[in-house]
Structure 1
């Protein structure tokens, strides 16, 4: 029970950080944060499916995949994370307004923050939604960090949607994914417990010397 509570606190933190990056740095510059939105646009373009329903359908399908391959706990955590992210985007959008700045600065800042949030979520065994589910599956069964498969999947979707989205936005989206997925791998591989133990040993050594 204590472990579950700790996990959901960390999922909440990761989702809020992710929503903060989207609402204040990426979405104001029309920079897509992932591939699920790109798939929704493609369904709308090819099959005339409403974008809102297409986005729900893509995320729901990927969540079914998560339930089958990752287990109910991961799927529930993913649904919780997506909900907190959505609420965070709404909250930050209506309560905080960043002054206009250079788009490349927003891109760099937002991508780094986004990568930190996604990395925290993936460390808890849950996806950030969208292509994060498949990236987590690849990471689990191939034993590799999820950042690289996430970059490849989202990159392919961004390229596919280039015919109906401004090429400048696609380039920004790919750069954002490249930066954020590298940060994801750094956060995902970070050995926090080992660092805490080293700090404890160092602290104990300083105390012993003083004695």
Structure 2
């Protein structure tokens, strides 16, 4: 298979699966999928904005800060991923209704799909957008690992979201983050032959 087409197909699949987890399982309970998801929940709460549109706006706005540091090719692939994710969120939110929802089931399944989608994207050297872009910029400028700024950025947004919407959200968000990141690690450890990446850490 053509390497470009294979990468494109996996990016589409990753964005769609991520959107499935968010739109069908997490967002109906206002559970943020991350920092960007938390901001999208707030925009939806304050302005009754579609979650898919809100998520795209947040991700695209944050990505603009990272273009100079992360490179144009990285930015273009990330725009593809966040666009597919946002369209998927809107599709699954509006096209499917789950009767007699169970919070625990939705939390687990949503986190599993979220982690699978992000893992597929990361295997292709593509970001799923969000505050991870900002965390990477901070880590580059301060020469520190991105984990700490990413954690504090997400936590700050989770706290604000919890204060505005519901305090239980911060607990659910942390559980979701833990589950989804475990799945990301599992997917990234899987062996995909001839995976095509662009070496996104360097500018083109």
Give the TM bin, normalised by the shorter chain: 0.7 to 0.9
Of 13-22 and 179-188, deviating more is 179-188
Q: Which has the higher helix share?
A: 1
SS of equivalent to 2:100: coil
SS of equivalent to 2:193: helix
Higher relative contact order (CA 8 A, sep 6+): 2
Distance in 2 separating the partners of 1:60 and 1:24: 22
Distance in 1 separating the partners of 2:187 and 2:23: 21
Distance in 1 separating the partners of 2:113 and 2:183: 9
Distance in 1 separating the partners of 2:120 and 2:55: 24
Q: Does residue 110 of structure 2 align to residue 110 of structure 1?
A: yes
Match of 2:198 in 1: none
The RMSD of aligned alpha carbons is: 3.6
- Equivalent residues of 1:22, 1:110 under 8 A apart: yes
TM-score, structure 2 length as denominator?
Answer: 0.75
Match of 2:166 in 1: 166
Query: CA distance change for structure 1 residues 24 and 187 in 2, over 3 Å: closer, same or farther?
Result: same
1:1-211 equivalences under 5 Å are 2-39=2-39, 58-134=58-134, 153-193=153-193
TM-score, structure 1 length as denominator?
Answer: 0.72
* Pairwise CA distance, 1:152: 5.2
Q: Deviations over 1:158-203 (max 9, x none)?
A: 1244332311122111111111112112222333339xxxxxxxxx
Equivalenced residue count is 190
SS of equivalent to 1:99: coil
- Which ranges in structure 2 are unaligned for 5 or more consecutive residues? 195-204
SS of equivalent to 2:79: helix
